[in-house]
Amino acid sequence: MTTYRASRLQGITVFVQAVEAGSFTAAATRIGLSKSAVGKSVATLEQRLGVRLLDRTTRRLALTAEGADFHQSCLRVLAELDEAESRAASRRREVSGTLRISLPVTFGRQWVMPVLCNLARQHPKLTLDVAFADRAVDLLEENIDLVVRLGDPGNSASLSARYLGHQRTVTCGSPAYFVEHGVPTSIDDLANHDCITFGQGGHVFPWKLLDSEGRSVDVKIRGRHTISDGDALRAAVLDGLGLAQFPTWLVADQLRDSALQTALAPQGVEGSPIHALWPATRDLAPKIRATVDELIRAFTPVAPWDRDLA
């Protein structure tokens, strides 16, 4: 049935080309067929319709009355087909549909959501479906279009990745804490301070510090307290409970307002990377491409949370 319909459409196309070209020879040149193939196609069409569409002369083709009427109908059909193809191609390029995206909870809420809101305003046909999770989301298993991941992006052949930058980590305390306990000047000094570590699932994360030669090292800190939520950890340090290490994106406002102050490496130490990940396909959906491009514009070359920090 499909082949039959395709041959009918081809016959109509050849007929219209023959009329516009004025001869089978000229039509054959236009569409890349032989003159005999063009003539046979038109003859088959006439046989199927049971009417003569063209009067053939040695010099030129002439439409019969039935042929003229059929020709106008064919032009309308082909115009509608062209319009349908254009609409389909436009939708293929258009940023539309539902974008299912997974974000780290605090980072996503504070820094990615404004980017997504701006994107949605630019593209009225885009629908956001945003989930928050502080875990390694399985994009294929959970039917996710895009994920922003803090840390190691992994090495899966089924995923594509785009680097968005690195986190920068700083060791912070409140001004009141430093007045009471002093400011540590070396890694060894931390043993004399109330350090608060970040831990999840029984794992306590090391601090990234600079050794005496300026090299980045991971240091296991014996913290007096351990807190598993970044916002709560920040609140505890603001309250003067002790020192902690943060990514600058979490404490940018507090550093800018001097509610928190840095110690050891004031400029911070390069931490884990930030990536956008999506299922690897040869044809990237416009909604994913647009989102990744918007994230790149927002986060590079300098991350917004670091732009005003010394």
pLDDT digits (tens, 9 = 90+) for 108-122: 999 999 999 999 999
CATH architecture type of domain 2-90: Orthogonal Bundle (1.10)
Instruction: State how beta strands 269-279 and 159-173 pair.
Output: antiparallel
CA 60 to chain centre: 57
What's the confidence (pLDDT) of residue 226? 95
Q: What is the mean pLDDT of residues 47-63?
A: 87
Q: What is the mean pLDDT of residues 214-225?
A: 91
Contact 104, 150 (CB under 8 A): yes
Class of domain 97-164+272-304: alpha beta
Contact 102, 112 (CB under 8 A): no
pLDDT tens digits for range 146-160? 999 999 888 778 889
- pLDDT band, residue 303 (cuts 50/70/90): very high
DSSP 24-67: HHHHHHHHT--HHHHHHHHHHHHHHHTS--EEE-SS-EEE-HHH
Instruction: State how beta strands 225-227 and 196-200 pair.
Output: parallel
C-alpha pair distances (Å), 78 with each of 16, 81, 155: 9, 5, 48
pLDDT of 3 above 60: no
What's the confidence (pLDDT) of residue 170? 96
What CATH number does the domain located at 167-271 have?
3.40.190.10
CA dist 287 and 116 (Å) reads 11
- Fold match between domain 97-164+272-304 and domain 167-271: yes
Q: What is the mean pLDDT of residues 174-194?
A: 95
DSSP 246-269: EEHHHHHHHHHTTSSEEESSTT-E
- Return the residue matching tokens 């899966």: 156
What's the confidence (pLDDT) of residue 1? 42
Instruction: State how beta strands 159-173 and 216-219 pair.
Output: unpaired
C-alpha pair distances (Å), 196 with each of 56, 156, 210: 94, 35, 18
Instruction: State how beta strands 126-132 and 216-219 pair.
Output: unpaired
Q: Would you kindly state where each structural domain of the chain is located, as residue ranges? A: 2-90, 97-164+272-304, 167-271
CA dist 186 and 212 (Å) reads 8
pLDDT of 216 above 80: yes
% residues pLDDT > 90 (the chain): 64
CA angle 130, 136, 141 (to 5 degrees): 75
CA 21 to chain centre: 47
Task: Give every CB contact of residue 206 below 8 A, 6+ residues apart in sequence.
Answer: 218, 219, 220, 221
Give the torsion through C-alpha atoms of 86, 289, 116, 259, to 10 deg: -160
% residues pLDDT > 70 (the chain): 95
Name which residue leads in pLDDT, 3 or 67: 67
CA dist 304 and 252 (Å) reads 9
pLDDT of 46 above 70: yes
Closest-CA residue to 95 (of 293, 300, 278): 293
Strand ranges (DSSP E) for 104-201? 126-132, 146-150, 159-173, 196-200
- φ, ψ (nearest 5 deg) of residue 8: -65, -45
- Of 53-62, 88-97, 176-185, highest mean pLDDT: 176-185
What's the confidence (pLDDT) of residue 2? 52
Q: What is the mean pLDDT of residues 212-216?
A: 86
- Of 33-37, 203-207, 247-251, 284-288, highest mean pLDDT: 247-251
Task: Give every CB contact of residue 236 below 8 A, 6+ residues apart in sequence.
Answer: 196, 225, 227, 242, 244
What's the confidence (pLDDT) of residue 111? 97
pLDDT of 51 above 60: yes
Instruction: State how beta strands 269-279 and 146-150 pair.
Output: antiparallel
